[in-house]
Every structure is written in structure tokens, then in C-alpha cells.
Structure 1
Amino acid sequence: MKQQLSSMLVLVACAIAIVLLASRSPQETFDKISVREFELVDEKGKKRASIKVEENNEVVFRLRDQNGTIRVKLGADEKGSGLLLLDSETNPGIHALAKKGASFTVTDKDGKRKTY
């Protein structure tokens, strides 16, 4: 009798769960989201990526490692754009600029820079 009651309670609980899950509306989608700054955080709440308009009106996208150190920076303003890829010591590994002409700078492991 006790086992039948337990089984019945489990079945009722399952039925309630199924009804609740079935009645959930699908995830809402948006055509447009407007924000002044977008931040992506990891499971610990640490900022890992951001997109924002700086005070000088440059739009900047930054990617950070697990320690919060910026490793990638992509920026654009009315004068052009730039890409910066930083190494493990935050030295520029690749620096590409497209402002009144273009330049591409590569830094090797010894710190020697070559600009194209």
C-alpha cells in the first residue's frame, strides 16, 4: 500500500512537471537590442568581452583572457579602423591599421617589429 502511494505521488509529480513544461512559452526573440555597452561575462561573472562606444566616439570590441587581460582589440572611427592582437605578455603580436593608407605590423618572439 505504501509503495502504491509512493508510485502514485511520483506519477502525479511527473504529470504536473509535464504540464508546466508544456505550458512554457518559447524563448522570446528580438529583432533589435539597443545598448550603450555590451558585456559578455563568464560563469564567475568576470568580464570577458565588451563592445562599446568610447568618449572619443570610437567603437571598440575587446576580448579578455580568464585573468581579465585584454588580448584582442578591434576599433573603428571616422578615420578608419584597427586590429590589435596581444601576446602572453600583452605585447603587440599583430597590429593592423587602416587609416589614410594601411599598415600591418608583426612582432616576432624576440620583439622585433616589421611593418608592411
Structure 2
Amino acid sequence: MGNAWWNLTLRFLLELSALLGLGMAGWSIPAEFWRWIFAIALPLVAAVLWGTFAVLNDPSRSGRTPVPVSGAVRLVLELVILFGGAAGFYLAGHAATGIVMALLIAFSYAFSLDRLGWLLRQ
């Protein structure tokens, strides 16, 4: 599975952006107390899920995983977190950023067809 360096870099930046978008969505909650809770909890939960549930021997990761899951489950998890981050920007009032991020996610996956095929075969 040979992803180009630029796509791996883009994917990493999208992962970080998703965490930021989720945090911004949490911060946009009007209730002062809950905004702090959600701004911290949403990205934290997403990061824990991302790092915990993976496909065993995934060449795009270390190959190890605390909790092995099927490729389809991993793909759904990735899409929910990444597009959730894009939606977070959108909902927090940064519509253009959310839309651009969603387009970049689709672009990245379009150039990762080998990885998508591998995931769906697992």
C-alpha cells in the first residue's frame, strides 16, 4: 500500500483538523459550563477512539492495535471522526473551512483507493 508522502501528510493534517473542529463544535455550545466539557471531551473521545480501534497489521499505522476491528468498522470510524470535524467547523460558524475540509477528506480518500480496498477486504 503505497500512499504518496503528500497524501499521508494531508491525512495527518486532516486528523488534527478534525480534532480542532470537534473542539470548536463543543465550544460553540451556548451554555458556559457545558461548552468547556464538550470542547475538551469531543476531541479527546475522538482521539481515544482513533488510537484504540484499528485493523490489525494496518500498514498505514504501526500494525499494532489495542482493540482490533474489521476494516469496515475502521473505515466508518475514520469517516465519522473526519467528517464530524468538518461538520464541527461548519456548525461553529466556519462554514467555508468545514466545506474545504470535507472536500479535502474526499480528495485524500480518492487517492487512497488501495488502502480503501485493503480495509474493505479485512
Q: TM-score range by the shorter chain?
A: under 0.3
Going by fraction, where is strand more abundant, 1 or 2? Answer: 1
Higher RCO, 1 vs 2 (CA within 8 Å, ≥6 residues apart):
2
**Structure label with greater radius of gyration:** 1
TM-score, normalised on structure 2? 0.21
Q: State TM-score, norm by structure 1.
A: 0.22
Q: Which structure shows the bigger proportion of residues in helix conformation?
A: 2
